[in-house]
Structure 1
Amino acid sequence: MTTATTPECFVQLSDPHIVIKGRLLMGQVDTAAFLARAVAHVCALPARPSHVLITGDLVERGGLDEYAHLRELLAPLPCPVLLMPGNHDAVPTLRQAFADHGYLSSTPLEPALSGFALYAASLGSRRLLALDTVVPGKPHGSLCAARLGWLRAQLEAAPDTPTVVAMHHPPFTTGIRHMDGMGLREGADELEALIAQHPQVERSLCGHLHRPITRRFGGTVAMTAPSAAHQITLGLAPDSPPSFIFEPPGYYVHTVQDGQLVTHLHPVGDFGEAQLFR
Structure 2
Amino acid sequence: MPARRVCAFVFSSFTMATYGYNGMIIAQISDLHLRTDGHKLKGIVDSVGALDAVVRHLNALEPRPDVVLATGDLANKAHVQDYETLEAMLRTLSMAFYVIPGNHDDRAMMRDVFAKDGYFPPDGKFLHYTVEDWPVRMIALDTKADRRDGGEMCPERLAWLDARLGEQPDRPTVVFMHHPPFKTGIGFMDKQHFDGAEDFEALIRRHPQVERIVAGHLHRTISKRFGGTVASVCSSSAFQMALDLRPDVGSSFVKEPPTIPILLWRDDTGLVAHHSQLGDFGPRHPFVRDPL
Alignment TM-score, normalising by the size of structure 1: 0.93
Structure-2 residue corresponding to 1:144: 154
Matched, 1:265 2:275: yes
Matched, 1:59 2:68: no
Structure-2 residue corresponding to 1:192: 201
Deviation at 1:250, TM superposition (A): 2.0
Percent of pairs with identical residues: 43
Q: What pairs with 1:118-129 in structure 2 (closer than 5 Å)? A: 118-122=128-132, 124-129=134-139
Matched, 1:209 2:208: no
What amino acid does structure 1 have at the position aligned with 2:283?
E
Structure-2 residue corresponding to 1:166: 176
Partner Cα distance (2:259, 2:37) in 1: 22
Structure-2 residue corresponding to 1:242: 251
SS at match of 2:230: strand
Structure-2 residue corresponding to 1:43: 59
Is residue 14–residue 251 contact of structure 1 (8 Å, CA) maintained in 2? no
Deviates more, 1:70-79 or 1:260-269: 70-79
What amino acid does structure 2 have at the position aligned with 1:46?
E
What amino acid does structure 2 have at the position aligned with 1:117?
L
Partner Cα distance (1:55, 1:27) in 2: 24
Is residue 31–residue 238 contact of structure 2 (8 Å, CA) maintained in 1? yes
The count of aligned residue pairs is: 269
SS at match of 1:104: coil
Structure-1 residue corresponding to 2:20: 5
Structure 1: where are the runs of 5+ without partners? Answer: none
- Decide which of 143, 163, 168 is 1:153's aligned counterpart: 163
Choose between structure 1 and 2: higher helix proportion: 2
What amino acid does structure 1 have at the position aligned with 2:152?
S
SS at match of 1:8: strand
Structure-1 residue corresponding to 2:232: 223
Is residue 10–residue 123 contact of structure 1 (8 Å, CA) maintained in 2? no
Structure-2 residue corresponding to 1:70: 86
Is residue 21–residue 69 contact of structure 1 (8 Å, CA) maintained in 2? no
Partner Cα distance (2:19, 2:251) in 1: 47
User: What do residues 131-178 of structure 1 show as CA deviations (whole Å, max 9, x unaligned)?
Assistant: 111013321111100000000000111101101111111010000011
- Cα 1:252–1:183 change in 2 (3 A) is farther
Partner Cα distance (2:203, 2:176) in 1: 14
Matched, 1:90 2:95: no
Deviates more, 1:198-207 or 1:23-32: 23-32
What amino acid does structure 1 have at the position aligned with 2:32?
P
Partner Cα distance (1:147, 1:239) in 2: 33
Deviation at 1:239, TM superposition (A): 2.3
User: What do residues 68-120 of structure 1 show as CA deviations (whole Å, max 9, x unaligned)?
Assistant: 121222121011110010000000011111121221225xx5xxxx1110101
- Cα 1:4–1:121 change in 2 (3 A) is closer
- Cα 1:204–1:123 change in 2 (3 A) is farther
Partner Cα distance (1:93, 1:83) in 2: 13
Is residue 13–residue 54 contact of structure 1 (8 Å, CA) maintained in 2? yes
Alignment TM-score, normalising by the size of structure 2: 0.88
Structure 2: where are the runs of 5+ without partners? Answer: 1-17
Deviation at 1:204, TM superposition (A): 0.7
Kindly report structure 1 stretches of 4+ aligned residues shifted beyond 2 Å. Answer: none
